[in-house]
Structure 1
Amino acid sequence: MQVELTQPGVLLNPDGNLAQVGWSRQPLLDCNLEQARFYALKPLQRFRLKRWDYYAVFTPRRFFSATIADLGYAGNLFVYTLDFETGELHEEGIVVPLARGVSLPRNSTEGVSAFADDRLQMTFEVLPNERRVKVNWGAFHEGRGIHADIRLQCLPEYESMNIVIPIGRRRFYFNRKINCLPAEGILRYGGVSETLDPHICLGSLDWGCGVWEYRSYWNWASASGFLPDGRTVGLNLGCGFGDLSRADENALILQNRIHKLEGVRFEYTSGDYMKPWRFRDAQGRLDLVFTPFKERVARTNLGIIFSEVHQMFGRYQGKAVTDDGEEVLIHDLIGFAEEHHARW
């Protein structure tokens, strides 16, 4: 049984346990991480808390993504971009010991995420009715440089996929994802400059925090695009870690409204990721085939700290049924699906 949360409150009780478990259409919980109690020695807790602010933008030509993350023991800043026509994919990242200089807001609804040094400047700002993403990385890809100043429309009535679930006894996952945010602004990569038109360009947000088991695994799939009739359509699908008995993050997003799905299965061949993937849910409302055209592999191996992501870019085909019974036909919707293993 999925539990939909409707009442605002805090994320954690004074004893460190989750105050509520479930999902919601709007962010309702205050991220009071100061109440975390998963270690006896409180000063050690900051090294296990993970927080991140991730943006992705789809244009007709390109995928662009930028992330500011605080992993507790380190900050992680990374940007990557994929040209759909040529297949060129490039990614660069910076690791900052103890996350020095990384700033993230308490909640997803306000504030600024930022990092700046002599190599890179990144600022993600929440403004009235929009979110602004600014990146300036002059040395990106051997001096070609990447620069972005993008405004993502985010009206108060837009629904988002919010989830809070336990991981074991004292650990948890708290996440907000917003799909299909109309994007406008400028994106420059090397000698190529794009002016983003909100009628054909869409962005998405992945904002969250949590405390994972040391060995963790998950799947995530996401897409934001348009139907032939001009309506926006998005997907957010996930499984893996945590107790999903009361909530998962599976949803169809149509015209910025959440249509909740349950128990979506990721059917794919681990290790042979270019084979088609299939997604089906427990109620018969979702049946999609995802055909990859590009693989992104991001691997970090620092001994006790390890991460490996296989993120596949491809096209979704199939159908999804809304809460009120409308069958939505999906054709050539570009998005991604991933497998992630971590020791962190």
Structure 2
Amino acid sequence: MNPAPQTVVTHGAPAMGRYAGRISRIDWSPMRERRSWLWHKLHHKRWHYVGLGNEQLFIGVAIVHLGWTCTAFAYLFDRRRRTLLANWRQDGLPGLQAGVSDAPLAGARTWFRGPGARLTLCHEPDDSLRLTVATRALRIQARLDLGLMAPPLLAIGSVDGGIVHATQKTTALPVQGWAEAEGHHFGLDGAWAAVDASNGLLARNTAWRWASAHRADAGFNLQQGYFGGQENVLWLDGMPIALADAHFDFDPTQPLRPWRVHTDDGLLDLVFTPEGARAEDRDLLVAASHYVQPIGCFAGTVRAGAGAPARRIDGLLGVTEDHRSRW
């Protein structure tokens, strides 16, 4: 993959493609003449998501700005008890209760404030991201080290029914810190984290299937849906490798049964065995979200390129997701 451009819009057009490296900001203001101010207000969607885990737990935290509303969630899945010890979510008013930074990594300042809740993801001078969650159900203090990370993915592309989307995704970031839920204290030192910073002008109805798993030697991100295969990437020993279109073979009515995820180029073929899941089914008439995110481990084979020897993957902790939104 080529190095990341300095801006997502160059010479008046999106810089379409998949790149390796950081971008300072995702700024769609040069695209405003494409549609009305109101359309942009309603269709500009952006979020920061952090997934992190170790042998004891998996944590997912997201702050989402939908233009006309905002939401945040944070959960802790106890892998030994195979249960969600914390599963918190709250909606709010954009600008007043939440802000999602256009800076994906360096310079990021994303936050949510609501009754009994304070969440932040902020870039620190030591080139780390500080994740703070303070809710009645869950408390987290974590430092995600960006200093020695592998080149992150930057994907920029068109979307059906919308205009354009961009996402910056990291692989394994070293973690330090702690989490508390239901009277249990967990050390996070030695865990691995991945950050998903996404920002786009999307369609009202948007659906995707997604898989993400990361550790120091291997990680990947796959998506099938509104963004096509544009964010499909494999990291092997810190080297990002672009992947072809992904396929998700699973039973949507029984998402805790095994999934198979694989790519058309044969570089990734894995079986995912869920240990548990976070799910949500909301229909608010003007908006709806149908979502399940199983947590578990991937096993199978990956390759660095066509004709390269297969490399065995076992016990790679991560998530899959089946999601449909009307937003």
Partner deviation per Cα, 1:68-87 (whole Å, 9 max, x = no partner): 11111111111111111112
Tell me: CA distance 1:170–1:36, structure 2 relative to 1, closer, same or farther (3 Å).
farther
Counterpart CA distance in 2 for 1:182 and 1:41 is 43
Give the corresponding residue for 1:179.
171
CA distance in 2, matches of 1:235, 1:255: 11
* Matching residue within 148, 155, 159 for 1:167: 159
Q: Which amino acid aligns with 1:208?
A: S
Q: What amino acid maps onto 1:327 in structure 2? A: A
Of 103, 107, 112, which residue of structure 2 is paired with 1:110? 107
User: Deviations 1:227-279 (Å, cap 9, x if unpaired)?
Assistant: xxxx532121111113x4xx622222233321222122212222222332112
For residue 35 of structure 1, report the CA deviation from its aligned partner: 2.4
Q: Hey, what's the Cα distance between the residues in 2 that align with 1:28 and 1:99?
A: 24
User: 3-state SS of the aligned residue for 1:179?
Assistant: coil
Secondary structure of the residue aligned to 2:98 is coil
Across the two proteins, how many residue pairs are aligned to each other? 323
Q: Secondary structure at the match of 2:285?
A: coil
The residue that corresponds to 1:301 in the other structure is 283
**Residues 37-76 of structure 1: matches in 2 within 5 Å?**
37=32, 40-76=35-71
Counterpart code for 1:111: A
Aligned partner (choices 128, 136, 143) of residue 130 of structure 1: 128
TM-score (norm 2): 0.91
Residue pair 1:54, 1:67 contacting (<8 A) in 2 also: yes
Q: Give the equivalent residue in structure 2 for 1:143.
A: none
2:96 matched to 1:100?
yes
What is the TM-score of this pair, normalised by structure 1? 0.86
Instruction: Show structure 1 runs of 4+ deviating over 6 A.
Output: none
Moved more, 98-107 or 275-284: 98-107
Q: Distance in 2 between the 1:30 and 1:93 partners?
A: 27
- Are 2:184 and 1:192 equivalent residues in the alignment? yes
Single out whichever of 288-297 and 305-314 deviates more from structure 2: 288-297
Measured in 1, the distance between the counterparts of 2:108 and 2:299 equals: 37
The match for 2:265 among 283, 290, 298 is 283
CA RMSD, 1 decimal: 2.2
Using the aligned pairs only, state the percent identity.
Answer: 21
1:240-251 to 2 correspondence within 5 Å? 240-242=225-227, 244=228, 248-251=230-233
Deviations 1:281-339 (A, max 9, x none): 22222221112232321122110211111212222111101249353211122221111
1:202 is aligned to 192
Which of 87, 90, 95 is residue 91 of structure 1 equivalent to? 87
1:340 and 2:323 are equivalent in the alignment: yes
CA contact 1:264–1:280 (8 Å) conserved in 2: yes
Cα distance in 2 between the residues matched to 1:65 and 1:169: 29
- The correspondence for 2:209, drawn from 210, 215, 219, is 219
Q: Which runs of 5+ in 1 are unaligned?
A: 141-145, 226-230
Q: Distance in 2 between matches of 1:57 and 1:85?
A: 16
The unaligned stretches of length 5 or more in structure 2 are: none
Residue identity in the other structure for 2:151: E
The code of the aligned residue for 2:284 comes to L
CA offsets 1:134-167 (integer angstroms, 9 cap, x no match): 1111x22xxxxx2111011112652112211101
